Amino acid sequence: MKKQSYLKTMVCSFLLLFCSYSIYGKDVNKELIRIETNNTTLLYIVENGNVNNYYFGAKLKNPEDYLNYTGDPQGALFPAFAGKSAIEAPVSVIHSNGVLSTEFIYVGHSSKAIDSNVSITTIVLKDKVFDFYATLFFKAFKNEDIIETWVDYKNDESGLVTLKNFASAYIPVKSDKYFLTKFHGSWFGEMKMEEEQLTHGISTIQSIQGVRTSHNFNPSFIVSLNQPASEDCGEVIGGSLAWSGSWKMTFENDIESRLNIVAGINNYASEWPLKNGEEFQGCHFIFTYSNAGTGQMTRNFHSWVRKYAIQDGNELRPVVLNSWEGNFFDFDESKIIKMIKDGAKMGIEMFVLDDGWFGGNKYQRDNDGMALGDWDVNKKRFPNGLGKVIEEAKKNKIKFGIWVEPEMVNRQSEVYEAHPDWVLKEPGREQYTERNNYVLDLTNPEVVNFVFESVSKVIRQNPYISYIKMDCNSPIYNPYAPYLDKNSQQQLWYLYTKNLYSVLDSLVKTFPDITFQVCSSGGGRVDYGSLPYFHEFWASDNTDALQRVFIQNGTSYFYPSIAMGAHVAKVPNGITQRITPLKYRFDVAMSGRFGIELLPADLTPDELTFAKAAVQTYKDIRPIVQLGNLYRLLSPYQGCLASLMYVNDAKSKAVAFVYQTQRMFGDFYPNIKPKGLDPLKKYKVTEINVLPEQAKKFTTEESVFGGDFLMKNGLPCVYWGKQGPLSINLMGEFASAVFLIEEMP
Ligand code: GLA
């Protein structure tokens, strides 16, 4: 906001304050600020020069009643650190004269509709004494019941202000009890769910890894009010940060038993100096409220992501064959050509050549210790360049994609040898690496340009490329940017992420026809900050189908299936050594953005026949899986089965998946009860993706049920003895089933 408009708003608001008067301490000039979606209300009241939060929850019919309400607010709009602070505030600064406290007062607010679905409310706060401003933005998405919020800080003081803490969101909640669900994990074990009751004090989840957002914790949470979160009932608030750098969220159950949720960029080693006239924009925070449990919360997030926070969210994704797990670094031109040919026979639509295809003149990418950063073709593996493999893809009408990791280089690379000052490196210290990677100094504009040019060059040299897998295999272990002066090092974290976003933005704008996948040692950068620049993410390097059931379940709470790369890999799994049946692996991968990550040549003829049919089956159900609404039926954490389903908007087609997660004789298998159908419609239920030897079921007239019956009674599972005609076959270890539910005319 320009200084002039700040002044205008201030003058108006002070006039307003002057005109208001108090009767027995009651402010008669209270003003409501309503932020509303179809089913929720977030309510603030301007009173006595302050803005307070009175309500966030199911839509209020008469918010005006709050004007007569004499109870306490839930909290302030945005508390700052002050001498009388009782909670850890979202913002704390050192003012230009050294004063540590900030007292915000109301300056003004405005609301405007962006279109028929989206509106934005802006509330300006100013310190009572100092010319320091915080402008809060609330973007409400009506149909999706989503609110996106962020804060701009502005220094109009005469000297330097130091931002010590600069969060983006503060949500106070009042309830009897609070339960926090966290999504923790690491490489090979992302998105594990854990729920705890929040007793008094502060719980924190965070990342301090700089470039990797979601190994440790995903920047997302669920707070359930009064009772533990459940899928279909109860009040929950879900939130997620749109930031791909270090972040922090705190949940403080305070002395008045109110929960104070604070979310934003991590201030860890990250003080930010704000000179006179400068602004600082925090990251965006996305949140929703549901009084119908976590299922509705998820559907709110998914429809918002598909419409507003991902590339081409309504376009179906191709079936991918990725070269990594089938070959690792052991491949050459002829092996890749064979893979493409074999993949084509299975029906794949996109071949992705993963790590190992590049190198310069001096180093070739034979292993992960060399050539990263030298983005020319590896002449040892591809003496003819990529021409021949691309020709093969074209011949087979398959699209072609390629792997890059442009933010990092190896020590053994021509680019590092030419520019040793381009990497993050602490003077005087040993250089710590993960996977032999040096992270580039993205505070340096020359390096930012190099990152953009690296990817552009690969695409320009091979115009047939239509998919880029963009990896990032190391956290920031050496936090010192040679480009910045020694007093500015704390700015590294913020600048890195901002400059990364500017590269990503240029890439998607320059190459609008390319499909981009975000990857970071698997699911290390799965967040709402990176997603807008990508079409999808690689959910995990863990392709063990059993563990994937858990990883994909956790991921599903915030991220839709259209974006979740899920591939069938070989067995025994490289790390877990587990052997799961091919059908189980297909059934698990088919509930996401499906792909294959093994050598088709390793399959037996029978397996190949099954795989080919399964790929076709996926193509048939793809619109339901990728664009449908998700209903989780059974959690893998709660028994020996996991189940989920997708239903199209018209409730005319659905597909359900059931996975056995453990097999113990005597374990109880509940009926699988579909959700989200129309109770008044008749549906035909057909088991699909069946093995040839499986008995055929659900194909007779008896397989027609009313939606009401299906949802209330469900379908029985059989895991031993004789299988009935209407049951779901879950016999044997790692049994699984997929069934299609179609409306009968
Ligand atoms: C990371 C990715 C993998 C693969 C390898 C290649 O680990 O997550 O999918 O691309 O890098 O080195």
pLDDT tens, 151-175? 999 999 999 999 999 999 999 999 9
Q: Which of 500, 522, 544 is the last residue of a domain?
A: 522
Tell me the CA–centroid distance for residue 269 and ligand 1, in Å. 29
- Confidence bin at 724 (pLDDT 50/70/90): low
CA distances in angstroms from 637 to 173, 553, 633, 634, listed in the order given: 28, 10, 12, 9
Q: How confident is the model at residue 1 (pLDDT cuts 50, 70, 90)?
A: very low
Share of the chain above pLDDT 90, in %: 89
CB of 471 sitting under 6 A from ligand 1 = yes
> Residues 6 or more apart from 319 whose CB is under 8 A from it?
347, 348, 349, 350, 594, 595, 596, 615, 618, 619
* CB 542 near ligand 1, within 6 Å: no
Mutual orientation of helices 545-556 and 582-589 as an angle, nearest 10°?
10
Neighbours of 329 (CB within 10 A): 13
Which residues constitute the domain of residue 720?
633-744
473 within ligand 1 shell (Cβ under 6 A): yes
> Is residue 471 flagged as an active site residue?
yes
Confidence of residue 18 (pLDDT cuts 50, 70, 90): very low
Residue type present at position 216:
N
**Is the domain of 98 the same as that of 186?**
yes
Cβ of residue 324 lying under 6 Å from some atom of ligand 1: yes
Number of domains in the chain: 3
User: Comparing C-alpha atoms, which of 123, 153, 147 is closest to residue 136?
Assistant: 123
Concerning whether 541 is annotated as a catalytic residue, the answer is: yes
| pLDDT of res. 9 | 47
Pair 300, 164 in one domain: yes
471 CA to centre of ligand 1 in angstroms: 7
Asked if residue 607 is part of any domain, the answer here is: no
Q: What is the mean pLDDT of residues 467-482?
A: 98
Q: Is the pLDDT of residue 20 over 50?
A: no
pLDDT category at 26 given cuts 50, 70, 90 is very low
Given a cut of 50, whether residue 12 has pLDDT beyond it is no
C-alpha 107/C-alpha 457 separation (Å) is: 50
Q: What is the pLDDT of residue 692?
A: 82
- Identify whether residues 358 and 258 lie together within a single domain: no
- Ligand 1 atom with the smallest distance to the CA of 541 is 8
What mean pLDDT, rounded, does the chain reach?
94
How much is the pLDDT for 655?
98
Whether residue 527 is contained in a domain is answered as no
| Entry pTM | 0.96
If DSSP codes are grouped into helix, strand and coil, which group holds residue 190? strand
**pLDDT: is 730 or 65 the higher one?**
65
Burial (0-12, 13-18, 19+ Cβ within 10 Å), 125? buried
Q: What are phi and psi of 482, to 5 degrees?
A: -55, -25
What kind and span of H or E run contains 611? helix 605-627
Alpha carbon distance 740, 728 (integer Å): 12
How confident is the model over 229-257, as a mean pLDDT? 98
Measure 593 CA to ligand 1 centroid, in angstroms: 17
pLDDT classification of 712: cutoffs 50, 70, 90: very high
Ligand 1 atom at minimum distance from 469 CA: 10
Residue 33 β-bridge partners: 44
Q: Tens of pLDDT along 347-404?
A: 999 999 999 999 989 999 999 999 999 999 999 999 999 999 999 999 999 999 999 9
The per-residue pLDDT for range 616-642, each reduced to its tens digit, is 999 999 999 999 999 999 999 998 999
CA angle, 693 then 698 then 703, to 5°: 170
Residues 304 and 353 in one domain: no
Q: Is the CB of 190 under 6 A from ligand 1?
A: no
Mean pLDDT calculated for residue range 261-280: 98
Which of 471, 527, 544, 587 is an active site residue?
471
- Percent of the chain whose pLDDT exceeds 70: 94
Residue 624 forms part of a structural domain: no
pLDDT of residue 669: 87
Pair (646, 509) in one structural domain? no
> Same structural domain for residues 495 and 644?
no
Whether pLDDT at 511 is above 50: yes
Q: How far is the CA of 598 from the centre of ligand 1 (A)?
A: 14
Distance between CA 707 and CA 176 in Å, rounded?
A: 37
Cα–Cα distance measured from residue 145 to residue 296, given in angstroms and rounded to the nearest whole number: 10
Residue 259 lies in a domain: yes
CATH number, domain of 714, equals: 2.60.40.1180
Inside any domain, residue 298: yes
User: Which of 279, 308, 337 is a domain's end point?
Assistant: 308
Residue 503 beta carbon below 6 angstroms from any ligand 1 atom? no
Distance between CA atoms of 122 and 115, rounded to whole angstroms?
Answer: 16
With a cut of 80, say whether residue 24 has pLDDT above it.
no
Q: Do 288 and 376 sit in the same domain of this protein? A: no
Atom of ligand 1 nearest to the CA of 520: 8
Q: What is the CATH number of the domain that holds 245?
A: 2.70.98.60
Check whether residue 38 and residue 187 sit in a common domain.
Answer: yes
Whether the CB-CB separation of 152 and 135 falls below 8 Å is answered with yes
**Based on the domain organization, do 153 and 283 belong to the same domain?**
yes
- 289-301: pLDDT as tens digits: 999 999 999 999 9
Cβ 121 vs Cβ 149: under 8 Å: no
Asked, for residue 21, whether it belongs to a domain, the answer is no
The reply to whether 191 and 249 lie within a common domain is: yes
Residue 617 within a domain: no
Of residues 722 and 177, the one with the higher pLDDT is: 177
23 burial (CB, 10 Å; 0-12 / 13-18 / 19+) is: exposed
Three-class SS state of 610: helix
pLDDT digits (tens, 9 = 90+) for 68-125: 999 999 999 999 999 888 899 999 999 999 999 999 999 999 999 999 999 999 999 9
CB 541 less than 6 A from any atom of ligand 1: yes
Ligand 1 pocket check for 538: Cβ under 6 Å: yes
> Quick one: 95 and 219 in the same domain?
yes
Give me the pLDDT at residue 10, please.
46
Top pLDDT among 613 and 215 is at 613
405 touches ligand 1 (CB under 6 Å): no
Ligand 1 center to 468 CA (angstroms): 13
Asked if 292 and 298 touch (Cβ cutoff 8 Å), the reply is no
Q: Whose CA is nearest to atom 12 of ligand 1?
A: 355
Same domain membership, residue 251 and residue 359: no
Got the DSSP string for 435-452? TTEEEB-TTSHHHHHHHH
CA of 465 to the centre of ligand 1 (A): 19
- CA 206 to chain centroid, in Å, comes to 15
Place 440 in a pLDDT band, splitting at 50, 70 and 90: very high
Dig out the tokens for 170 from the structure: 């503060």
CA neighbor of 595 nearest in space, from 340, 312, 318? 318
**R_g over Cα of the chain:** 27
Nearest-10 crossing angle of helices 605-627, 333-346: 70
- Of 522, 553, 572, the residue at which a domain comes to its end is 522
User: Could you tell me the distance, in angstroms and rounded to a whole number, from the CA of residue 632 to the centre of ligand 1?
Assistant: 29
Q: How far is CA 1 from the centre of its chain?
A: 30
Domain at 368, CATH number: 3.20.20.70
| pLDDT band at residue 25 using 50, 70 and 90 as cut-offs | very low
Marked catalytic residue, from 156, 541, 544, 587: 541
